Structure 1
Amino acid sequence: LAQQGFAVVNPTYRLAPEYRFPAAMEDLNAVFAFVMQHAAEYGLDTTNLFGIGDSAGATGMAAYAALLADSEYAANYPFTPPAGLKLRAIALNCGTFSMDDMLEPMRDVLPQTEPEKALHLLDIPKHITAGFPPCYLMTAYGDFNCNQPMKLFAELKNNNIPYQYKVWGDKNNPLGHVFHCNLHDPAAHDANKAETDFFHSHIQN
C-alpha cells in the first residue's frame, strides 16, 4: 500500500477469548477516531479514506462499514463513530461474512451473555444497506473461506453497491488463506496491486 502511494495505518486489536466481541470493534473505532483527530499532524487525507481487513479483520471491517452506513445497526454497538468519517471503498480479503451455523465455531469470540445476538450483528449480509461503500472481495482457490464472498453478492447488488470479486490461484496452484500477506510471492504482489487499483479508481480529487 505504501509503495502505491497510500498513507497506511496498521493497527492491532484485542484478541478473543480474553477480550470478546465487541472489543475488537471498539478498538477499530478508536483507530478511526485517532485518524480523524490527527489527520493534519500526519498529513492524512480524510476525504479519501479506505479500509482493508484480512480474515477475521475482514469480518470486522465489513461490520464497521455497515454501521457507518446504518445508524439503526450502529446503535447496537457501545461506541459512536467519529464525526465526518466516510470510507470511499473497502477491501475484504479471505473473510467470513455469513454466520449460518457459526455459533459453535465463534463461541470463544462471542460474549458469554446473549451470544446469538452478537452473532447476528456479525452476519454481514443482513446488515448491508445502500450506504455501504464500494467493495473489493478477494479470496483464493485454496482458502477455506473461498465461498464466503459470494454470500454478499445478492445484498450488494440489491443495494446498487459497486464491487469487484477475484479468486486467485487454481487447482494446480491453489494458494491459500491470506496468501497475499506473503510479499515474496508474485501472486501476492499481483493481488495487492489489483486491490490498490480498485482503491485508486475511487479516489476523489
Structure 2
Amino acid sequence: MTKIGVLALQGAIREHIHQIESLGCKAVAVKTVEDLNGLDGLILPGGESTTMRKLLDRYDLLEPIQALAQQGIPMFGTCAGLILLAKKITGYETPHLGLMDVEVERNSFGRQVDSFEVELSIPSIGDDIPAVFIRAPHIVSIGDHVEILATYEDRIVLAKDGQFLGCSFHPELTEDVRVLQYFIDMVNEFTKTSKAKTNSI
C-alpha cells in the first residue's frame, strides 16, 4: 500500500489524511524524524509558514526532510507548504527547505478575510477543479525545468518541478481529490521506477 506522510506540526492535517485514505493509501501523521521512515511521498500542508518553520527546527525535521528529497521522494506543498518547499521567498534572504526551483510571494491574494474559492481548468488534471485560496501565496518565477500546471489571474498557482508539486490553494478543503490523485500518481511512478532500478542491480 502506498504510504503518504503529512507533516503534522500545524495546519490542515486531518483533511489531507482523510483524502489520502479515501484514495486507498496509508496516511502517516509526521511529527518526528522516525515518522519519515518508509514513506513513499510527503505532503506539506497549509498553515502558517513561519510557525511551521519554527516547529521544523524544534523537532529537528528540516534536514531529514531535505535528505528524504535527496532520495527522490515526491513532495507536495499546499499554500504554506509551497512556501516551505520554495528555493526563494520574495522579501526574505533565506528559504526554508529550499527544494523546489520557484520563487514565491507570501499572502499575495490578500488577508484571511479575502479568502475565496474558484474553479480552475488544469490541462494535466481536469476541468472545474475547485480551489480554495486562504492568505494564499503565488509563484512569482520558475526555474528552467519547472512546469506550470495552472494559473489564476495571470499568477502561477500550481507547478511541478520534477519530484516536487506545489500549489497556492487548498485542494484538501474540497471533496475533489483529482489534484491529490495527480500527486499520488507521481508517487506511484517514482516507486515503480525505484523498484525497477533495484531489481536491475
Q: TM-score range by the shorter chain?
A: 0.3 to 0.5
- Which TM-score applies when normalising by structure 1? 0.38
Which of the two has greater helix per residue?
1
Bigger Rg over Cα: 1
- Which TM-score applies when normalising by structure 2? 0.38
Higher-RCO chain (CA-CA 8 Å, sequence separation at least 6): 1
